[in-house]
Amino acid sequence: MNPADLPDSAPLPKELIPSIRLVAFDFDGVFTDNMVYVMQDGSEAVRCFRGDGLGLRKLESAGIATVVISTETNPVVTARSRKLKIRCIQSCHDKLHALERVAAELGISLAQTAFVGNDINDLDCLKAVGLPIVVNDAHPDVIPYAKYRTRARGGNGAVRELCDLFERVSVCRERNSDK
């Protein structure tokens, strides 16, 4: 299937999952529903899906590294990442450079990396990785570059969906190798 023809969701290319050693995430629109509450004092709050934390532990158990790479300069990104126990790079205006740096630190290639995004500032990373993923409500300009589009919308379980899919593929692979 041509990525441009992806429906609201498409089967995750399971053959790629065993090679993935790093999953990098955008924050706003992926961990959040892309909405922001702006308080009278100018501070911001966002809404996140609680189940993402349990999902991220599944990736950790599978030996897959994770990182949030965000252009935002907002304490809420750091606070949520800290709570989720996930590395966070923010105020990042060149996401691809940051992603390349993280992959190099881990001794892996971008072909062994998945990137989860939702908008045009994620495009360079989506084009560069082995497994480009977008959330269901991603901007139409990035959808054609994805090999997988989640069923869930950003901030509504999209991260957990991916973690669960990675776990299912890993469990099936282990079961098949035991036979």
Say if residue 12's pLDDT is above 80: no
- With DSSP H G I counted as helix, E B as strand and the rest as coil, what are the percentages for the chain, rounded to 5? 40, 15, 40
pLDDT at 114: 97
Q: Which residues share a beta bridge with 117?
A: 134
CA proximity to 24, closest of 120, 119, 131, 138: 131
What residues contact residue 98 under an 8 Å CB cut-off, 6+ apart?
69, 89, 92
pLDDT single digits (tens) 45-84: 999 999 999 999 999 999 999 999 999 888 999 999 999 9
Amino acid at 54: L
Kindly indicate the confidence band of residue 177, based on its pLDDT and cuts at 50, 70 and 90.
low
Say if residue 5's pLDDT is above 70: no
Q: Assess contact for 162 and 133: CB atoms under 8 A.
A: yes
Cα–Cα dist 102/148, whole Å:
22
What residues contact residue 135 under an 8 Å CB cut-off, 6+ apart?
29, 30, 116, 117, 118, 149, 150, 152, 153, 154, 158
Strands 22-25 and 44-45: unpaired
Kindly indicate the confidence band of residue 6, based on its pLDDT and cuts at 50, 70 and 90.
very low
Say if residue 175's pLDDT is above 60: no
Question: Which pTM value belongs to this model?
Answer: 0.90
Query: In the chain, where are the structural domains located?
Result: 18-178
Residue labelled with tokens 């992806």? 6
pLDDT single digits (tens) 135-173: 999 999 999 999 999 999 999 999 999 999 999 887 665
Say if residue 97's pLDDT is above 70: yes
Q: Assess contact for 130 and 119: CB atoms under 8 A.
A: no
Q: Specify the CATH number for 18-178; select among 3.40.50.1100, 2.60.120.260, 3.40.50.1000, 3.40.1190.20.
A: 3.40.50.1000
pLDDT at 9: 57
Residues of the chain above pLDDT 90, percent? 79
Lowest mean pLDDT among 13-17, 21-25, 39-43: 13-17
